[in-house]
Structure 1
Amino acid sequence: MKGYRKLGRNSAHRKSMLRNLVTDLFREGRITTTEMRAKEAGRIAEKMITKAKKGDLHARRQVLEYIFDEDVVTKLFEEIAPGYEDRNGGYTRILKLGPRQGDNAEVVYLELV
């Protein structure tokens, strides 16, 4: 089994796209995207929340390597992560919306629980 999905992109484009999805998820709380993108972005978001729960400077710097928007990182550490203090994983949820009109791709909500 592969460690990740390639999503039909080269590595730089894929990394940039997933960064943007995760940043928007933390900024908005819920995003609409395709199922495969949501699964990959959800994996990364779970890891970011787990790091943010530690709350120390090293964890903040590690998250800032991935999420460039400092306002979003501040929100993650001060608002989002403390809400999951008693939860061991499972911070995101995928809700299916149905196929997209143009290409029949499965569209979902990716949201924070």
Structure 2
Amino acid sequence: MRHRRKTIKLGRSTAHRDSLLANQVCSLIEHHRIKTTLAKAKATKPLAERMVTLGKRGDLHARRTAISYLKQKDIVKVLFEKIAPAAANRQGGYTRITKLGPRQSDSAPMAYLEWVDTAPDLETKIEAEVIPSTTSSKK
């Protein structure tokens, strides 16, 4: 029985699940928004929040702890220099899960996992995606 067990297993071994969640957080830091299944988003959210809290601490031990989880120094640098200062005035709840419709192939519930305090470059990136390109005339 799974009473009072908080670990979401996602049908993977422990090492595979840890790698998956670390890669999800790295993608979230790099792209500011990821589209994933709802179960993976719910499992990734606590780790992402913990990494931002480490980034807000900003000391050497926090940086080394983040590197031990995420395994990518350049991503940790972005976390400590851009994302953590943007969330400095927030006490928690740095990420948001927005539910989407089911995936067409297997009807898995999909969701966006994104930062609540979006960076300015993300807003311009989203606007650039919304603006349609020039339509080509068919001959």
TM-score scaled to structure 2, two decimals?
A: 0.79
2:82 to 75, 79, 85: 79
Distance in 2 of aligned mates of 1:68 and 1:14: 15
Q: Which has the larger radius of gyration?
A: 2
AA paired with 1:49? Answer: V
Among candidates 94, 100, 103, match of residue 97 of structure 1: 100
Q: Is it true that 1:41 corresponds to 2:70 in the alignment? A: no
Once the two structures are TM-superposed, the CA of residue 67 in structure 1 deviates from its matched residue by: 1.0
1:28-70, Cα deviation, whole Å (9 max, x unpaired): 1000000010011111000000011000000000000011111
CA RMSD of aligned residues (A): 0.7
SS, match of residue 3 in structure 1: coil
Paired with 2:16 and 2:76, the residues of 1 have a C-alpha distance of 22
Give structure 1 regions of 4+ aligned residues with deviation exceeding 6 angstroms.
none
Q: Return the structure number with greater relative CO, CA threshold 8 A, min gap 6.
A: 1
User: In the alignment, which residue of structure 2 is the partner of 1:27?
Assistant: 30
Runs (5+) with no aligned partner, structure 1? none
Quick one: which amino acid aligns to residue 16 of structure 2?
H
Q: Return the TM-score normalized by structure 1.
A: 0.97
Aligned pair partner of 1:11 in 14, 24, 44? 14
| Identity of matched residues, % | 51
**Equivalences, count:** 113
